[in-house]
Chain A
Amino acid sequence: DVKVTQSSRYLVKRTGEKVFLECVQDMDHENMFWYRQDPGLGLRLIYFSYDVKMKEKGDIPEGYSVSREKKERFSLILESASTNQTSMYLCASSIPGQQETQYFGPGTRLLVL
C-alpha cells in the first residue's frame, strides 16, 4: 500500500512565525503536491513537483514556498505565517502519466493565531 505521511496532524502557530510542513511518501513517486482545503473552496493546489529539486507553482502559491531535496520528501514552508493561512493542508503523490490517481496524506490542520 502506498503511504503518504505528514509530520503533524495539528499545529498551532503565531502570526509571523516560519512554519514547516513535511510530507514523506514511500512508493518512489516522482510527482508530489501540496493542497489546502477550506470549506466551500475545495482543494486548491499550492505547489507541485515532478522531481527532486523541481517545483512548479499551483493556483495559490502566494505566501508559500516548497523544498524537495529528496524524492520521497516534499516540504511546504510558510515564511511568515498569517491568520488567513489557517487551513487544512494536504500532501499527495502520484506516478507520472497516472496523475488521475493521487495518494493523499491524512492532512495537517494548521491554526495561525
Chain B
Amino acid sequence: QQQVKQSPQSLIVQKGGISIINCAYENTAFDYFPWYQQFPGKGPALLIAIRPDVSEKKEGRFTISFNKSAKQFSLHIMDSQPGDSATYFCAASSRGNRDDKIIFGKGTRLHILP
C-alpha cells in the first residue's frame, strides 16, 4: 500500500513532442505528490508538485494531471526538448506522517531525440 507505481520505465520522444509519464498509488493518506528530475551525474531535484485538491498544475512546459478517484497522476512535458532528457521520479508523501518520508516511484528514463 506504500508503493508508487511508475510507467513507462523508459521513453523516447521526438523533439517538440509530448512526453507523458504515469504514476499510480494505493494509500489514500498521501496528500502531496512531487515529481523529481535527475540529470546524469547529479542528484534528483524537485521539479513540480501537486496536492489532491486540484486536478492540474502547470509550470511552464510541465503539467501534472491528478485523478483522485483513480488514484493516478501523470507528468506531461509539452514541446519536449533535448535538454529535458533525464530520469524522472514521481513520489508521494503524507504531511500527517511523522516518518517524514517520501515514497518514490522507480523512475522513467526520458530521451528526447534532437
Q: Which residues on A are within 8 Å of B, measured CB to CB?
A: 4, 31, 33, 40-43, 45, 48, 50, 56, 58, 90, 92, 94, 96-97, 99-102, 104-107
Whether A50 lies near B100 (C-beta < 8 A) is: yes
> B46 to nearest A CB, angstroms?
5
Interface contact tally, CB-CB below 8 A: 59
List, in ascending order, chain B residues with CB within 8 A of A107's CB: 41-43
For the complex formed, measure the closest distance between the CB of A62 and the CB atoms of chain B, giving whole angstroms: 18
Residue with the greatest number of chain A CB neighbours at <10 A, chosen from B6, B43, B45, B106: B43
Q: Which residues of chain A have C-beta atoms less than 8 A from B91's C-beta?
A: 100
Taking a contact as CB atoms closer than 8 A, the residue among B34, B43, B105 that contacts A104 in the complex is B43
Known: A40-B106, A43-B89, A45-B101. A101 touches B34 (CB 8 A): yes
